Amino acid sequence: MKDINILLIFLFLMSCQHPKDKYLDEFGLFINDTEANYDNYTDIEFKNVEIYYLELIEQEEDLKDLFSESELKRIKEYHKRYKKARIKRDPLNNLLEIFN
């Protein structure tokens, strides 16, 4: 019984994750999934990926004052990784991005 109570307390504490930590976790999972599957997405699926990316940018804007310098560096890296996946998926239509 004691083990169950400890487990329940642990699960409760994990569900009370700070919004910025939840955002960082979601963004990281999104980037990993996008990098792993960008070449398998249909055009419609990748449009949905792009829409979700824009939603993440909006969330980032709402939470920007809460991030530490290291978290901001991690977010910047996530944006770079997304950009690379987008370019690899469709290099011709992202020609200008390649040179930036």
Task: Give tens-digit pLDDT for 50-95.
Answer: 999 999 999 999 999 999 999 999 999 999 999 999 998 877 776 6
Helix axes 19-37, 43-63, angle to 10 degrees: 160
Rg of the Cα trace of the chain? 17
Measured CA to CA, the distance from residue 68 to residue 91 in angstroms comes to: 33
Question: pTM of this prediction?
Answer: 0.77
Closest CA to 46 of 91, 86, 10, 80: 86
Residue found under tokens 């560096």: 73
Alpha helices in 1-100 (DSSP H): 2-15, 19-37, 43-63, 69-89, 95-98
| 3-61 residue pLDDT tens | 455 545 554 555 567 889 999 999 999 999 999 999 999 999 999 999 999 999 999 99
